[in-house]
Amino acid sequence: MDQHSVAVDVDRVVKRYGTVTALHGVSMDIRQGEFFTLLGPSGCGKTTLLRCIAGFEDVSEGAIRLKGEDIAPLPPHKRPVNTVFQQYALFPHMTVLENVSFGLRRRGWSDRDASGRSREVLEMVRLSDFAKRRPGQLSGGQQQRVALARALAPGPEVLLLDEPLSALDLKLRQAVRVELKQIQRETGIAFVFVTHDQEEALTMSDRIAVMSEGRVQQIGSPRAIYEAPQNRFVADFIGETNLLDVTVTSVSAGMAELELPGGLPLRCPAAEGAVQGAGHVSVRPERIAIGAPGAGTLPATVADHVYLGTDIQLHAKLDDGAPILVRMQNAGQDSVPEAGSRLGLTIEAGAARLLAD
Amino acid sequence: MAGAAPQGASRSEVYRGNGPRLMLPTWVFIGIFLVLPVGLMAIYSFLTKEFRGGVIWEFTWAAYDQFFLDRGLFGDEPPSIEWTYIGIFWRSIWQAGLATVLCLLIGFPTAWFIATREASARPVWLFLVTIPYWVNLLIRTVSMKFLIRDNGPLNEFLLWTGVISDPLSLINTNFAVQLGLFYSYLPFMVLPIYSAVERYDFALSEAAADLYSDNWTTLRLVILPVVKPGIVAGCILVFVPSLGAFLAPDLLGGAKTFMIGSLIEEQFKGAAGNWPFGAAAAMILLSIVMAVLLLHARAQSKEAS
């Protein structure tokens, strides 16, 4: 990738609050025009990193480069990035139009030009009819769109979004996801989107950085993050998974030879950094096939099942007592394996992945 | 069942329906102790003065005539405008306005400081602000007089440090009156602004900074407009009592700093008083204050719609 297609270069950023370290040398490249998501549980440092890029927090060490220029020493009002705040932070004493024009006016645009440009942006978020209203007179979804329009109007190099959908109810949130993604494509502006909601991250992002305890755990496309998790945290945080204790006999060229619990041999892809000896394999519940016990299958005993509509979830136990979760598609089967019945589970080579830890 | 909602009324209507009844004691109190005396004062202002204080129940415009018109020493010259009392009023408005501005300049940063402390520390700071109020206003004003008099501690200190070689004569000046008013009413500025700033969402300041505002621009375009109701409330709470104040002007000021409050007070004191004239001056003061408050109320309701 060439230098020019990087929008933001986060280079070994450390953030300390007194004795607490919120970011432990975080690095990532955010490319121009991509929808980039910072995903992780609360307290993982994703919002801190976003606030460092916006300039609301000083970085303790490291650089944040925008088009090659280090913006870390600049105050927020000198950075060509704009933010959509979690609770929107709309100016309550201004009309929608005044809110959206605010950034342009501060950058020296005339009242007329700023209003014209703001009206265009309001049109894009379908709020033209609300230009004269005050934020207090709008619904949550409308306020969210005003916040988006206000941040987009000055044409930032990068748009930062701090869990902007978390204040909306579920139905609205799903509609706004599609809309937001569409606006991102239309404008071609790089979006840096912070969320703790993995479904949101998977459906909207071009790439995701999974964070935990102030460190980047993995960066990749939604598919890569889900199908090829790097470590136990990523495998467990994204979707549902089974983490099985295994013994690795050899790792070479990204493939591992290992023994599943009970000694069943398996050859599967290995994450970078995986080594010989005791390790962990991630197997998604929907990638396990069930059948009768027999040679070449992993024996298990059904403990319970949960009916989920499109799926049926089987809670089973391996012979060593480790729990294992299997998801069967609801294809109109007459019978579901009863509690106590014996099963033979088949894990295809491509369904399992040896993790780095 | 007792307390059950009447047919057709929702619970919330029942609860809200108690409002008017809850106001009853207040209405009675305001009626007896506010409307009645002010009404009486309004009537007195149109009566004839009794020389030993008090009034004779004979209707006349004399008090207002005396306030606004100069008819010469014996009252037989063609009337011209009497500037003495208008001048006192004008000076009072000016003094009260200046005190308000001073209170705002000191009070706003103070309120901001308190509102931005840890939530647990704020009550302590607020308590400190109200401490002077544990002492009677008269005693506080007299202490102020003691502090700033020619051989008082302030002058002694300044002489001792060598900043000045002769005592400053601070007492009986506008400065002294300002100091008294400022000290008396500062908390009335701090408290409403504090409560507005405490509710201020600091994400708004971040949003402004994010949209290319430096700190001063953010203060001017976002913070001040958003906390304006608190500022206006504080200004009214300082301006109105300052306008009618008589302790600070009496004790700290002199003849040149005579204010409305003292003028009115004198009319009701002793045999030299003139009750109808004092009542008329009070009614004129009341009209000015009401005009200010009405203007503010109109501006607010305009803003709300």
Domain holding A58: CATH number?
3.40.50.300
Interface contact flag, A89 B206, Cβ < 8 Å: yes
* Interface contact B203-A76, CB threshold 8 A: no
**Chain B CB contacts of A77 below 8 Å:** 209-214
- Decide which of A192, A227, A262 is a domain's last residue: A227
pLDDT of residue B232: 93
Q: What is the DSSP letter of B35?
A: I
Considering the domain architecture, whether residues A11 and A125 belong to the same structural domain is answered as yes
A91 Cβ under 8 Å from any chain B Cβ: yes
Contact list, B221 vs chain A (CB under 8 Å): 102
Whether A76 has its CB under 8 Å from any CB of chain B: the answer is: yes
Residue A193 — very low, low, confident or very high, per pLDDT cuts 50/70/90? very high
Percent of chain B clearing pLDDT 90 (strictly above): 49
A249 shares a domain with A132: no
- pLDDT digits over A78-105, tens only? 999 999 999 999 999 999 999 999 999 9
Instruction: Please list every residue in chain A whose beta carbon sits closer than 8 Å to the beta carbon of residue B206.
Output: 54, 56, 76, 83, 85, 89
Q: Which residues contact B246 (CB under 8 A, 6 or more apart)?
A: B259, B261, B262, B264, B265
- Domain assignment present for residue A149? The answer is yes
Q: Which of A163, A193, A227 is the last residue of a domain?
A: A227
Are A87 and B201 inside 8 Å of each other by CB? Answer: yes
Task: Report pLDDT for A195.
Answer: 95
CATH number of the structural domain spanning residue A250: 2.40.50.140
In A, minimum Cα distance to B226 occurs at: A93
Give A39's contacts (C-beta < 8 A, 6+ positions apart): A46, A195, A196, A198, A201, A208, A209, A210, A211, A237, A238
Q: Domain boundary at A168, A197, A227, which?
A: A227
Q: Is residue A95 part of a domain?
A: yes
Mean pLDDT on B171-184:
88
- Which residues from chain A sit within 8 angstroms of residue B209, using beta carbons? 55-56, 75-77
A199: nearest Cα among A228, A170, A220, A179: A170
The sign of the dihedral angle between the CA atoms of B79, B84, B87, B88 is negative
Q: Are A25 and A67 found together in one domain?
A: yes
Chain B contact for A126 (CB, 8 A cutoff) = no
Both A250 and A312 in one domain: the answer is: yes
Question: Most B CBs within 10 Å: which of A53, A91, A107, as the mutation test of the B interface?
Answer: A91
pLDDT digits (tens, 9 = 90+) for B185-226: 999 999 999 999 999 999 999 999 999 999 999 999 999 999
Q: What is the distance in angstroms between the Cα of B204 and the nearest Cα belonging to chain A?
A: 5
| Whole-angstrom distance, CA of residue A213 vs CA of residue A197 | 17
In a domain, residue A163? The reply is: yes
Please give the pLDDT value at position B2. Answer: 45
Query: A12 with A118, same domain?
Result: yes
CB A286 within 8 A of CB A351: no
Residues A113 and A140 in one domain: yes
Nearest CA in chain B to A89: B204
Q: Are A91 and A82 in contact, with CB atoms under 8 Å apart? A: no
Residues A55 and A86 reside in one and the same domain: yes
Question: Is A135 found in the same domain as A211?
Answer: yes
Neighbours of B36 (CB within 10 A): 11
Comparing A177-186, A334-343, B87-96, B102-111, the range with the smallest average pLDDT is A334-343
**Has residue B3 got a pLDDT over 60?**
no
List of domains in chain B: 98-258 (1.10.3720.10)
Does residue A157 belong to the interface with chain B, where contact is any CB pair within 8 Å? no
Share of chain A above pLDDT 90, in %: 75
When CB atoms are compared, the residue of B212, B214, B225 closest to A93 is B225
Total domains present in chain A: 2
Confidence of residue B244 (pLDDT cuts 50, 70, 90): confident
For the ranges A83-92, A149-158, B142-151, the lowest mean pLDDT is seen at: B142-151
Q: Which two tokens stand for residue A78?
A: 């000198």
A306 bridge partner residues: A313
Q: Do A285 and A260 form a contact (C-beta atoms < 8 A)?
A: no
Same domain assignment for residues A29 and A142: yes
What pLDDT is attached to residue B17? 67
Considering the domain architecture, whether residues A22 and A138 belong to the same structural domain is answered as: yes
pLDDT at A229: 94
Query: Is A234 inside any structural domain?
Result: no
- What is residue A55's three-state secondary structure? coil
**Averaged pLDDT for residues B225-233:** 94
- Residue (of B268, B270, B289, B288) closest to B279 by Cα position: B268
- Distance, in angstroms, between B202 CA and closest chain A CA? 9
Q: Report the candidate in B297, B264, B242, B274 with the shortest Cα–Cα distance to residue B94.
A: B242
The pLDDT, as a whole number, for residue B15 is: 67
Alpha-carbon distance of A60 to A62, in angstroms, equals 7
Predicted local distance difference test score (pLDDT) of residue A194: 96
Q: Is the pLDDT of residue A72 over 80?
A: yes
Closest partner residue to A92 among B209, B217, B226, by Cβ?
B226
Of A77, A85, A91, the CB nearest to B212: A77
Question: Are residues A86 and A160 part of one domain?
Answer: yes
B13 pLDDT band, cuts 50/70/90, is low
Interface of B with A (CB under 8 A): 201, 203-204, 206-214, 217, 221-222, 225-226, 228
Percent of chain A with pLDDT over 70: 99
The whole-angstrom separation of Cα A244 and Cα B238 is 73
Please report whether residue A157 resides in a domain.
yes
User: Do A313 and A281 have their domain in common?
Assistant: yes
Closest residue in chain B to residue A155, using alpha carbons only: B211
Residue A156 lies inside a defined structural domain of this protein: yes
* C-alpha distance from A272 to closest chain B C-alpha (Å): 39
Mean pLDDT within A256-266: 89
**Residue A114 domain-assigned?**
yes
Q: What is the mean pLDDT of residues A274-282?
A: 91
Q: Is residue A235, in this structure, part of any structural domain at all?
A: no
Q: Residues of chain B with pLDDT > 70: what percent?
A: 92
- Chain B interface mutation, best of A48, A79, A93, A105, highest count of B Cβ atoms under 10 Å: A93
Average model confidence (pLDDT) for chain B? 88
Residue-range definition of the domain harbouring residue A50: 3-227
Q: Are A161 and A192 in contact (CB under 8 A)?
A: yes
Query: Quick one: pLDDT band at residue A1, thresholds 50, 70, 90?
Result: very low
A-B C-beta contacts closer than 8 Å: 62
Q: Which of residues 133-152 of A touch B (CB under 8 A)?
A: 150-151
Mean pLDDT of B139-167: 87
pLDDT tens for each residue of B48-107? 988 777 888 999 998 999 999 988 878 788 888 888 899 999 989 999 999 999 999 999
User: Is B226's CB within 8 Å of A89's CB?
Assistant: no
Say which of A76, A78, A89 has its CB closest to residue B204: A89
Supply the pLDDT for residue B12. 67
Say if CB A6 and CB A32 are below 8 A apart.
yes
- Confidence label for A28 from pLDDT (cuts 50, 70 and 90): very high
pLDDT per residue as tens digits for the range A208-258: 999 999 999 999 999 999 999 999 999 999 989 999 999 999 998 889 999
